[in-house]
Amino acid sequence: MRTQKAESLEEALQRILFWSSLFWQSRHRLVGLGRLDVLLDRFADEDEKEATAMIMDFYDELHRYYAYKSNYVSLGDTGQIIILGGKDTEGRYFENALTRIFIRAMIKKRLPDPKLFLRICSDTPDDLIREALECIATGIGCPVLSNDEVVEPALEAFGYSHADACNYVTSACWEPVAYGRSLEKNNIIDINYAQALSRMAGMPEFAECKSFEEVLTLYLKCLDDELETIRAHLDGIEWEPDPLMTLFTDGCAHSGRDIAQGGAVYSDYGILGVGLSNAVDSLLIVRELVFEKQEITLSQLKNAVLSSYASDPALGDRLRQMHWFGKDEEPVITLTRRILQQVDERLVSYRNRFGGRLKWGMSSPNYIEYAKNTGATLDGRAAGTPLGVHISCADPIPFTELTAFAGKMDYSGNRSNGNVVDFFVSPGLIRSNIDKFVLFIKAAVSMGFFEMQMNVVDSKTLIAAKKNPADYPDLIVRVWGFSAYFADLPEDYQNLLIERALRSEGAVC
């Protein structure tokens, strides 16, 4: 009897490339590239030099047609995410030689695509965290760090089995998904917290409010209206059949239904959020300047907002200097949690046409796209200008403070659809303080962050690259949940990155 030849690492990588290219023709597209160190664990004893060379070639092939695979907004947004590491069903941390080889190969290639996503926990070895930080320090924006000690329990509380929660991957940038077992379209629409704020400012009742609590109540009512619009949108969605994804998704064969008909084990939806920081800062401005210090009136504020601050540019300038979101201060945390609790209460009962539930999260890529149709807000932001980005602070606060703020948010159950701490780091700061950054990441895990990404670049470089792009053809930046060449980005994204870098400089670990 003839025995079948054992597959080599090179052949396994070629097979992944084949299926990856095939799934790109699917209407539902590929859910990342999976936990490749787990899937290829049988090759963990390969010669490191040879394995590194093969994985570098693998990266080149994935990158080759990245423009074709990219989202319409920007080159690089492909969803080609490689998941590494992670806790298993027994609570043990999994990593192998390939975990590190994938990271080391990326350090050598320095490509914006594909992307790495490293799952970590309190048991992650210090030297693996160090290698991840060395990769981040190159400026390529990856790996994104995901805290299994928060994400896994949240997914299980949402309704995943324990095994599926432990085996999570991402459906696009960072939205957790059950590997090979779900429809889960996790970026359907966004909760626009800023739009609700803008609508509130235009209501006659706004200027008549007698207390901050009345203003907050009115805002939450406008937010409820936003959420009802989202529910109606979700109810109207119909998916086209997708035989390829159906063939490879658990549950479809057993149920006898296409993935677009609810055949998967999980048929949940996911939405994200934009403008939360604008809403929190705006409301705290009202509390301080109108009701505590009584320096301005609601009518003055309303008139300025309705004119997009053209009627009172000095007020707009003043408000744009007042930032709270992301700071580890009790009033900020309490208000943010109250707004998020309202969302949870309104959406926790939602069921789609398949009986699936709804995950939502604080992070979204649409802080520029949604902003174009969002009116002025009470924090000095003019109509149409970018909204706040993920879990970040416009002031240059310490990374530890921002992470402490993030750790005091509730990510349980329905709130588990992507919650990213996002900050800028000056080049050289990580490398010159690598031991401190390892300790920072370990502390951040215990503080309870959900996910984290960093942009390692300074404003001087970004400004120069915008002025003379030919001099910086390989400059890579982190955009929302993907990395891209700076020169490939639309001008509004370039401008926002420059603005954020300028504001962040001065932050310390």
> What are 423-435's pLDDT values in tens digits?
999 888 999 999 9
What is the Cα–Cα distance from 340 to 276, expressed in whole angstroms?
A: 9
What is the Cα–Cα distance from 183 to 178, expressed in whole angstroms?
A: 9
Q: Which of 2-6, 77-81, 305-309, 357-361 has the lowest mean pLDDT?
A: 2-6
DSSP 345-371: HHHTT---TTS--EEE-S--S-TTTGG
pLDDT of residue 22: 74
Judged against a pLDDT cut of 90, whether residue 291 lies above it is answered with: yes
Assign residue 207 a region: left if phi > 0, alpha if psi is -120 to 50, beta otherwise?
alpha
The two three-digit tokens of residue 308, written as one number:
């997009």
What is the Cα–Cα distance from 76 to 70, expressed in whole angstroms?
A: 5
pLDDT of residue 361: 95
Q: CA–CA distance from 507 to each of 129, 394, 461, 500, 504 (Å)?
A: 21, 11, 17, 12, 6
pLDDT of residue 222: 98
Q: For 384, phi and psi rounded to 5 degrees?
A: 85, -10
Judged against a pLDDT cut of 70, whether residue 30 lies above it is answered with: no
Q: Which of 27-36, 126-135, 325-334, 408-417 has the lowest mean pLDDT?
A: 27-36
pTM strictly above 0.85: yes
Half-sphere exposure of 363 (CA within 13 A, CB side): 26
Nearest CA among 176, 122, 166 for reference residue 144: 176
pLDDT of residue 2: 42
Highest mean pLDDT, choosing among 29-38, 61-70, 249-258: 249-258
pLDDT of residue 266: 96
Helix (H, G, I), strand (E, B) or coil at 302: helix
Judged against a pLDDT cut of 50, whether residue 27 lies above it is answered with: no
pLDDT of residue 28: 45
What is the Cα–Cα distance from 101 to 44, expressed in whole angstroms?
A: 9
Judged against a pLDDT cut of 80, whether residue 507 lies above it is answered with: no
Q: Which of 33-37, 179-183, 480-484 has the lowest mean pLDDT?
A: 480-484
Judged against a pLDDT cut of 70, whether residue 80 lies above it is answered with: yes
CB 197 within 8 A of CB 223: no
DSSP 22-51: HHTTSSS----S-BHHHHTGGGTTS-HHHH
Give per-residue pLDDT as tens, 95-120: 999 999 999 999 999 998 899 999 99
Judged against a pLDDT cut of 80, whether residue 508 lies above it is answered with: no
Exposure class string for 295-324: b at 16+ Cβ within 10 A, else e: ebebebbbbbbbebbeebeebbeebbebbb
pLDDT of residue 409: 97
Give per-residue pLDDT as tens, 379-389: 999 999 999 99
CB 504 within 8 A of CB 167: no
CA torsion sign, 179 to 180 to 181 to 185? Answer: positive
| Section 10-21 average pLDDT | 89
Judged against a pLDDT cut of 80, whether residue 69 lies above it is answered with: no
| Section 208-224 average pLDDT | 98
Give per-residue pLDDT as tens, 180-212: 899 878 889 999 999 999 999 999 999 999 999
Judged against a pLDDT cut of 90, whether residue 333 lies above it is answered with: yes
Residue 350 binned pLDDT confidence (cut-offs 50, 70, 90):
very high
| Section 312-317 average pLDDT | 97
| Section 69-84 average pLDDT | 76
Judged against a pLDDT cut of 50, whether residue 262 lies above it is answered with: yes
As a 3-state breakdown, the chain gives helix, strand, coil percent values, each rounded to 5, of 50, 10, 40
Judged against a pLDDT cut of 60, whether residue 25 lies above it is answered with: no
CB 153 within 8 A of CB 162: no
Judged against a pLDDT cut of 90, whether residue 33 lies above it is answered with: no
Residue 378 binned pLDDT confidence (cut-offs 50, 70, 90):
very high
Judged against a pLDDT cut of 90, whether residue 303 lies above it is answered with: yes
pLDDT of residue 74: 66
Mean pLDDT, the chain, rounded, equals 92
Judged against a pLDDT cut of 70, whether residue 215 lies above it is answered with: yes
